[in-house]
Each structure stands twice: as C-alpha cells, then as structure tokens.
A and B are shown apart, each in its own frame.
Chain A
C-alpha cells in the first residue's frame, strides 16, 4: 500500500478506493483481514471514524464484511464484483475521457485504434476469471475491432 492521503478526495473515499484497488490487484485476497480502523488511524495519522466510514461504504457494496470482535474481511466474490463494476464503468469513465483528450490534442483517432491493436498483439490478454461481456453505452466514432 502506497498511500499518501492528500487533499484530492475525501480521505475515506481514498481509503475505499485503495482497498478496492488492492482487491483487484490481488494484494488483498478474499477472506483476508483488512487493517483495523485503529491501525489506519495510527499508520496514517487520521481519525478512526474516517476509516470506519470507508469500511461502511465497502460493506454496503458487499466488498467487505465484519466478523464481530475480530475485524473487517474481504468478502467472497468481492474481486469479481469489483472487476465487473469496473468493466461497466471503463468505457464511460476511462475510455471516453481518453478519446476527448486525444481529440483535444489533435490526435487522429485512427492512430489511437492502431496503437490499441499494437498493444493487443504485443501482450496476451490477461485472463479474467469471470469475464462477462461488458455492456457498454459509449458513442464510438471509431471503427469496431
């Protein structure tokens, strides 16, 4: 974990994001115990209630669950759920902004597509455990692969 909680987003959001990232990366596996609010507080010099807020959000999402008297644990299926949600949002939150940026910089979208094909050829696609077809709502102007 390489967190420096800066003023970007509310800290509890940053903590939640970091935990989600760790789960996706595999740093936190299912049924692993997450650092306690006390540990978060002393490690990053923050209020324990802030960490508690992050946990609360993740529990609501079904990513974490609480074992009374023990602590917070990663829920089974959390990684899959996060990956699925990430895939849903990829096109709207990652790809579309990238396309806008390319346009702003005057990059020909055909060049972007060519680059994507290069990357696809160079690296075998990462094996996603439960890959479902993303249901994308992007308005693409480029060609379909």
Chain B
C-alpha cells in the first residue's frame, strides 16, 4: 500500500436526472487518509455524490478531482477507487469467481484477508450469489470492499440487511485494516450512533446541498442541550441557534447549535439550567429537520429567532 489515500475535491458539482436535481452546486473536500462520515436523509444525494466521485456517472456541471485528476475513464485513478453499493456490484456467480476477478483487477487486493473476512461473516466462498440472503450479500460486499484496499474506499450503506453482530464485526474489520493500511474512507450510514466515533470528518448533505462539512469533534462540540425551567432555558438560548425543542412538563429542553462561548458554564449555573452534550445522531436529526438553513459555518451563519 503506497501513500495514505486519495484526496477528493468537489467543486460546484451539479447532477441532474432529467428534471430532477440530485446535487446542486456541491463543493467539498475529502481529506486523504481520513475516515469521513457522509450523512443525509434518504434522497439527499449521498449515493449520487459517491457515484460521481467513483466515475460511475458524469457530472451535469462542475468538477470532481480524485488524487488531483478527473476520475472519469481514468485508468490509474479508477483502479484506486472502490465504491461499495447496497447489493454489491460483483459477479453473479460463485463468490470465488469474484475473488479471482478482483485479484486480477485490483492492484492491492488481499485475497487472504477477503477469505478471512468471509469466514468471519460465515459466508461459504463457493456459494452462488443467487443463493445468498440480502444480509449475506452485504457481508460479501463489505468483505470485498475492505480487501481491495483501494486508496479511496467508499461504502454506501453497506450494512443493510446485516444483523448487529455482523455490523460490529464489519466496523472492527474495517478499522483494523485501516490502521494497518491507511487509506481514505468514506462511510455513508443511517446508523450514525454505531459508527460516529470512527469519523474524523463529517459531511452532512441536505436536499442536494452541503449543510456542513467539518471535523467530527468540532461538530459535536457545537451542539448543547439546555435543560431547565422554561423561562430560564429560553433566556439562555436567546441569541443562539435553537434546533430542537422538547417540553417535559414545566421543564424545557432546548437543543442549541453554535460555537461554545467562554462564559457558558457560569451563565448556565446562574440561570439554573443544565448543559449537556448532543451526540452526532441527535445533532443530525435536529439539523436536518430544520426548515431553514441552520448552523451553516461562520461566514454564512444565520440565527433563527424562536
């Protein structure tokens, strides 16, 4: 494994399917060698974005650069990009045929690893694709996706149909191999709380645009729950971006989004409200439920008065 992975630069990417716009002027960067989480509600363009990066389809306008080059029909770059889609794009034959196929096609494919992973997931390599259940196919796709060791590895909700033990086995296997052979990894998933600690960076898409793209820890630090008597909580949240609201009797819990301020803890104690963290899953739910654009990074920041 040479290098630490391909970086990706997306600039003003627009993708339209006929009248429907799947991605609208998306610009973002994916850091080489990092694990990036790609989050978004269904239909927000995650799969389209990954497809364009993987040269599965072309942009309608805008550009994508992988390792500095346009990936479309680019043999060097394409050989280093692996996109694992739900269902998997491997041969409709025995699993071993796919192992043979990939051995020839992918320069860094580790067949031993693939076979060990298949064993972990209890998949018989001689089984035909048609005889495998949905969860088993996901397991095969996941195994192949890790074993190809592509410099840019993108996994699009590859866990679907897999039970919890299998999913955790997959996360562990992915992380272990990533540590040994660093590469750029993009994980798209709805089960955020299962893998969010693995992210170094996070990209959230909404309605075909980038809602935010930043470090995972940075993002987490920007979410706070404010719990206390209704008046006190509201007072604390004045002038801040409120993205969630929960009434528990006389107590109000507001979820606030924004950079933490120096006097926050003292101010909270003064008002008699309790501050708490918001995990990525909750933050994601709140941010993507908002009707207006909330929490956009510094210069485009808008504060929604409540």
Do the two shown chains form a genuine complex with each other?
yes
Interface residues in chain A, defined as those with a beta carbon under 8 Å from any beta carbon in chain B: 5-12, 38, 41-42, 44-50, 53, 100
Residues of A within 8 A of B278 (CB): 7
Tell me, rounded to whole Å, the shortest Cβ–Cβ distance linking B120 to chain A. Answer: 15
C-alpha gap A44/B172 in the complex (Å): 10
Give how many B residues have a beta carbon under 8 Å from the other chain's beta carbons: 23
Tell me, rounded to whole Å, the shortest Cβ–Cβ distance linking A16 to chain B. Answer: 12
Question: Contact at B198–A7, with CB atoms within 8 Å?
Answer: no
C-alpha gap A38/B282 in the complex (Å): 28
C-alpha gap A45/B193 in the complex (Å): 12
Tell me, rounded to whole Å, the shortest Cβ–Cβ distance linking B277 to chain A. Answer: 5
Question: Contact at B35–A45, with CB atoms within 8 Å?
Answer: no
**B217: which of A6, A44, A53 is its contact (CB, 8 Å)?**
A53
C-alpha gap A8/B221 in the complex (Å): 10
Verify if B72 is at the interface (C-beta below 8 Å from A): no
C-alpha gap A12/B199 in the complex (Å): 13
User: Which residues, 30 to 47 on B, are CB-close (under 8 Å) to A?
Assistant: 34-35
Question: Contact at A11–B197, with CB atoms within 8 Å?
Answer: yes
Which of B179, B269, B277 has the most A CB atoms < 10 Å from its CB? B179
Question: Contact at B197–A46, with CB atoms within 8 Å?
Answer: yes
Question: Contact at B217–A12, with CB atoms within 8 Å?
Answer: yes
Question: Contact at A10–B220, with CB atoms within 8 Å?
Answer: yes
C-alpha gap A41/B277 in the complex (Å): 22
A-B contact pairs, 25 of them (CB 8 A): A5-B197, A6-B279, A7-B220, A8-B277, A10-B221, A11-B197, A11-B217, A12-B217, A38-B179, A41-B175, A42-B175, A42-B176, A44-B197, A45-B172, A45-B175, A45-B198, A46-B197, A46-B198, A47-B199, A47-B200, A47-B216, A48-B179, A49-B34, A50-B197, A100-B269
C-alpha gap A6/B217 in the complex (Å): 13
C-alpha gap A100/B197 in the complex (Å): 35
Tell me, rounded to whole Å, the shortest Cβ–Cβ distance linking A10 to chain B. Answer: 5
Which of A12, A42, A44 has the most B CB atoms < 10 Å from its CB? A42
Residues of B within 8 A of A53 (CB): 217
